[in-house]
């Protein structure tokens, strides 16, 4: 076999493999790279109560394996480089600490992990796999072939931007993490992206609305519920309060 034929065969196998991975993601109910990027890019154009920066987004499956990484800008330098790994941490955290009956957003964890909180020390568990986080060519970051895809990233992040993903059967299938703006705007963006992806059939949560929305109840440094998050701006707080009306969580299909 000639070198030209070998190269062509290798190229064909690579395309077929990438197509298979994409199909499996869709079959498992998680968004493909193109779907994630489209939803993220659309939401970033809205008022989210932050700086209006471009964002990174990562999706992991229930095993914590990265399935897609995307950014909203025209190129990878259009958003904070450090937010790529943070978005993956957030996705890992929301997946790792949500259950079929209870969704916990990363925003819900802020107060609980502070000294004296019910989950103090959680933020030091499950460290990031740095080899996965920084492997491969930076030119592939945020593309369909991001080097994190197919590997476990790990990591714990305890501020806004990470949400568990539940399909229309109410099944917990993974999580979404976004990063690149204020932590409060990150939460609002993640909420809207999850809504666009129709993966917000939330079974319950710790917020007053019994979902995983961000809670702003810190008074004199103490969260009244134990699940509170610091406020970044009045606009971000207002947008979050209206999410139940503008982007309400869905109800799973009855059996």
**Neighbouring C-alpha atoms within 13 Å toward the C-beta of 89:** 24
Residue 229 lies in a domain: yes
Residue 162 lies in a domain: yes
Residue 9 lies in a domain: no
Cβ-count burial of 38 within 10 angstroms (0-12 exposed, 13-18 middle, 19+ buried)? middle
Q: What is the CATH number of the domain that holds 224?
A: 3.30.450.150
pLDDT digits (tens, 9 = 90+) for 3-45: 554 444 444 444 444 444 444 444 479 999 999 999 999 999 9
Q: Hunting for tokens 């990265």 — which residue is that?
A: 66
Q: How many CB atoms lie within 10 A of CB 243?
A: 19
Residue 8 lies in a domain: no
Q: How many CB atoms lie within 10 A of CB 35?
A: 18
Is residue 251 very low, low, confident or very high in pLDDT (cuts 50, 70, 90)? confident
Under 8 Å between Cβ of 98 and 90: no
pLDDT digits (tens, 9 = 90+) for 119-177: 999 988 999 999 999 999 999 999 999 999 999 999 999 999 999 999 999 999 999 99
The pLDDT, as a whole number, for residue 21 is: 43
How many whole angstroms separate alpha carbon 48 and alpha carbon 84?
19
User: DSSP readout, the chain?
Assistant: --HHHHHHHHHHHHHHHHHHHHHHHHHTTPPPHHHHHHHHHHHHTS--SS-----EEEEEETT-BEEEEEESSSSGGGS-TTHHHHHHHHHHHHHHT-BTTB---GGGGTGGGSTTSTTTTGGGSS---HHHHH-S-GGGTTSTT-TTTTSB------SSSEEEEE-TT--EEEEEEEESS-HHHHHHHHHHHHHHTT-B-----SSTTSS------EETTEESSS-------HHHHHHHHHHHHHSPPP-PPP-
The pLDDT, as a whole number, for residue 28 is: 75
Residue 118 lies in a domain: yes
The pLDDT, as a whole number, for residue 254 is: 61
Total domains in the fold of the chain: 1
Q: Mean pLDDT for the chain?
A: 91
- Mention every residue, 6+ apart, whose C-beta is less than 8 A from residue 24: none
pLDDT digits (tens, 9 = 90+) for 170-185: 999 999 999 999 999 9
Residue 222 lies in a domain: yes
Q: Is the pTM of this model over 0.75?
A: yes
Cβ-count burial of 65 within 10 angstroms (0-12 exposed, 13-18 middle, 19+ buried)? middle
- 222 is in which domain, residue-wise? 31-246
Ranges 5-9, 96-100, 229-233, 243-247: which has the least confidence: 5-9
Residue 135 lies in a domain: yes
Residue 26 lies in a domain: no
């Amino acid at each position: 076999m000639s070198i030209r034929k070998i190269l062509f065969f290798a190229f064909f196998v690579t395309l077929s493999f990438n197509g298979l991975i994409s199909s499996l993601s869709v079959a498992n109910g998680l968004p493909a790279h193109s779907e994630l990027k489209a939803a993220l890019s659309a939401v970033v154009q809205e008022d989210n109560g932050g700086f209006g920066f471009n964002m990174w987004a990562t999706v992991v499956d229930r095993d914590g394996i990265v399935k897609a990484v995307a950014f909203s800008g025209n190129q990878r330098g259009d958003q904070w480089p450090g937010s790529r790994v943070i978005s993956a941490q957030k996705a890992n955290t929301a997946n790792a600490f949500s259950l079929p009956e209870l969704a916990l957003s990363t925003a819900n964890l802020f107060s609980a992990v502070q000294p004296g909180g019910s989950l103090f020390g959680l933020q030091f568990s499950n460290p990031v796999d740095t080899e996965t986080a920084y492997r491969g060519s930076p030119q592939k970051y945020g593309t369909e072939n991001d080097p994190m895809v197919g590997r476990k990233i790990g990591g714990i992040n305890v501020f806004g931007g990470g949400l568990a993903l539940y399909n229309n059967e109410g099944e917990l299938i993974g999580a979404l993490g976004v990063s690149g703006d204020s932590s409060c705007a990150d939460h609002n963006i993640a909420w809207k992206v999850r809504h666009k992806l129709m993966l917000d059939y939330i079974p319950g949560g710790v917020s007053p609305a019994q979902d995983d929305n961000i809670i702003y109840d810190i008074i004199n440094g103490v969260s009244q519920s134990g699940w509170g998050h610091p406020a970044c701006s009045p606009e971000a707080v207002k947008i979050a309060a209206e999410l139940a009306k503008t982007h309400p969580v869905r109800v799973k299909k009855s059996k």
